[in-house]
Every structure is written in C-alpha cells, then in structure tokens.
Amino acid sequence: MTLFTFKPWRLSALLACLACLASLASLALGSSGAWSATPDTPATPVGCSALLQQNLLRLQDEKPQSLCQYSGKVVVVVNTASFCGFTPQYQGLEALYAKYKERGLVVLGFPSNDFSQETGSNKEIADFCENTFGVKFPMFTKTRVTGPEASPLFKQLADKTGTMPRWNFYKYVIARDGASVVSFNSLTDPTSHKFINEIEKQLARP
C-alpha cells in the first residue's frame, strides 16, 4: 500500500491559504468595529460658543441645522409672527440682512405662537414670509420663546440679557464671539438708528 506523503510545496500552499484567510477575517472585524464606532452626530466645531450649540429645524423643509455654522458672525435672533402689528418689520430685517451679510451679519427668524398671532403651519409661515416680504434670511420652525417651555436658545438669551420676549419681534444681537448679547424690544425697528448703530458697532469688532 502506498502511503500519502506530504510534499513540502503542498505545505507551503496550505500555510499561505491559511494566512490569507486570517487576513480577511481580521479586515472584516476591523471594518465592523470602525463602523460601529462612527458617531451618529458630528462633533461640535471648535470655537462654537455655547449659545450657538443648538440643532434646530429649518422652516422651509424641517431639515436639521446646526447654529454653529454661524460662529464668528454677528447674529440677530428675532421671534416673529404673521398676524402682528409689528409683522412689517420683516421688511426691515430682510433689508438689514441683505445690506450687511457680506460683512458677517446673519438674521435668524423664529416664528412663535406664544402671543397667539402665529397660528399657521410651518409651510404656511414659510410661504407667507417669502411671498409677502421676500424673506431670504434663515428661519426655523415654530418655537416656544417664553416661560418654562421656552427653547434652550431663548432661555440662554434671557439669562444673558435678563429678559425674555414680551411680545413678537423682540431682537437679540449676539456678538461674534457669542459672549455678549444686547436685547431690543418690539418697538425698536430694525432700520432705526439705535439698532443700526449696535449692528455697526458689533461688526467693527474682530
């Protein structure tokens, strides 16, 4: 009877095959581990102030937006309404945005029904703003701006200025570094000298 003899070349081939399989297994495990370690949300950008570390929904399509994208800008935050005596201020806010956006200004609008003058849906509000005043500055979905249910952003603005909105079209001017905030009540028109002077002062700062 002829015994099976293990040729040296066969042993080399077998070892090479086993090494290949081990490498593939290691690669598969490594890929699986990397996938599971991927965070669900991006890290907060370096230099984003605590005030702007907010993830909110855009009015037009309700897609998530991080306010950190406005870091380093002078930010005007305003609570808005479609059926208010101050609603025409949309026009002044849009003019302000158009004039100063290249210098680093952004206006952020937050529709709110806290004063019972913004009853429409987000789509209705978006259509109204675009069709009536040609609003191009960023706007977000309906937001609570007063009381214990106010959004974190408006709570922080109240903490920094000592006042929550007492009516529609309250305005908060946030410095480029996010450290200081100045508030203006509804009676202050966005085209007034008082308001423009504050915008110019903030834009002049590094």
Model pLDDT, residue 157: 98
The per-residue pLDDT for range 49-108, each reduced to its tens digit, is 999 999 999 999 999 999 999 999 999 999 999 999 999 999 999 999 999 999 999 999
203 φ/ψ angles, rounded to the nearest 5 degrees: -65, -30
Render 45-97 in DSSP notation, one character per residue: PTT--GGG--EEEBTTT--EEEGGGGTTSEEEEEEE-SSSTTTTHHHHHHHHH
**What is the layout of strands, in order, in the sheet containing 181-184?**
105-111, 74-80, 171-174, 181-184
DSSP class of residue 10 equals H
61 burial class (0-12, 13-18, 19+ CB within 10 angstroms)?
exposed
User: Burial code of 178-196, b = ≥16 C-beta within 10 A, e = fewer?
Assistant: beebbbbebebbbeeeebe
Catalytic residue among 20, 48, 68, 84: 84
Full-model pTM: 0.78
* pLDDT top residue among 21 and 45: 45
Give the pLDDT band of residue 206 (cuts 50, 70, 90).
confident
65 φ/ψ angles, rounded to the nearest 5 degrees: -135, 140
Domain boundaries, the chain: 50-204
- Residue 84 annotated in active site: yes
Strands 171-174 and 105-111: unpaired
Helix, strand or coil, per DSSP, at residue 132:
helix
Q: How many CB atoms lie within 10 A of CB 19?
A: 10
- Tokens 């706007």 sit at which residue? 139
Class of domain 50-204: alpha beta
Give the pLDDT band of residue 46 (cuts 50, 70, 90).
low
The per-residue pLDDT for range 26-41, each reduced to its tens digit, is 444 443 333 333 334 4
Strands 171-174 and 55-57: unpaired
Which H or E run contains 183? Answer: strand 181-184
Whole-angstrom Cα Rg for the chain: 28
Model pLDDT, residue 42: 46
